[in-house]
Structure 1
Amino acid sequence: MLTEKQKESFKQQLLEMKKEAEEELEEYKDDRLKNDYENDDTGEISSVADHPGNLGTDQFEREKEQTFYEKSREKLMEVNDALQRIEEDRYGLSEKSGEPIPVERLEAMPTARYRVDEMEDE
């Protein structure tokens, strides 16, 4: 079992991770609001690109940004779930077996829900 001091340390780490994820999401939203017109990333004023590759580049950049947004959103959900487990005094226990998750795993991945040996079963 984790000591209260360890739980508090993990809680602080999770709160920092939450802040980072929220900042990433806010940055993404701000970037989307800045794009007043379709080709803003390439500097083109017209919606008709000079070269078809520009449209592909724009599409690639939008998809890349969307992927980063989704990763940040997932990270925020995982962090919030871990913080909830701390509040409910379930943090550090496997959701599968109820066995303690090794501190080393939690240090590497504070949002861990399962022991490593349980992950291999899936």
Structure 2
Amino acid sequence: MLTDKQIEHFKKQLLDMKKEAEENLEEYRDDRAKEDYPNDDTGEISSVADHPANLGTDQHERAKEQTFYEQAREKLMEVNDALQRIEEGRYGKSEMSGEPIPVERLEAMPTARYRVDEQEDSSQ
């Protein structure tokens, strides 16, 4: 069972993670807003591509940014879920068995929902 001090420690970690994820999402949104003027990023004067590889590079960069956005969005959802579990008094207990999640696991992954042994069992 987690002490009040440990719960406050994890809550602070989760709030820091939430702030970071929100900043990442905001940065992505700002970058997407700049797409109205795509040549600003590349320094190109014309919107006509000089070389087909440039289009591939641009597509790759957009796909990479989309991946980062999805990761930040998922992280934010996990953090919000963990904060909700704190509010409901369920934080630090496995959603599968109700057994306590070891503090070491929560230190490594504050959003953990399951014990390591349960996580491994569910993935097989």
SS of alignment partner, residue 36 of structure 2: coil
Normalising by the residue count of structure 2, what TM-score does the alignment of the two structures yield?
Answer: 0.94
Percent identical residues:
84
1:82 deviates by 0.1
Q: Which runs of 5+ in 1 are unaligned?
A: none
1:102 aligned residue = 102
The answer to whether the 8 Å contact 1:42/1:58 transfers is no
Aligned equivalents of 2:43 and 2:67: distance in 1? 23
1:39 deviates by 4.3
The answer to whether the 8 Å contact 1:93/1:101 transfers is yes
Matches within 5 A, 1:52-63: 52-63=52-63
Amino acid at match of 1:72: A
Normalising by the residue count of structure 1, what TM-score does the alignment of the two structures yield?
Answer: 0.95
**Residues paired across the two proteins, number:** 122
Aligned equivalents of 1:62 and 1:89: distance in 2? 40
Amino acid at match of 1:114: Y
Aligned equivalents of 2:82 and 2:104: distance in 1? 16
1:26 deviates by 0.3
1:40 deviates by 4.0
1:114 deviates by 0.2
- Calculate the aligned-residue CA RMSD, in Å: 1.1
User: In the alignment, is residue 120 of structure 1 matched against residue 85 of structure 2?
Assistant: no
Q: Which runs of 5+ in 2 are unaligned?
A: none
1:34 deviates by 1.6
Aligned equivalents of 1:82 and 1:21: distance in 2? 14
1:66 aligned residue = 66
1:64-121 Cα distance to aligned partner (Å, 9 max, x none): 0000000000000000000000000000000000000000000000000000000111
1:28 deviates by 0.5
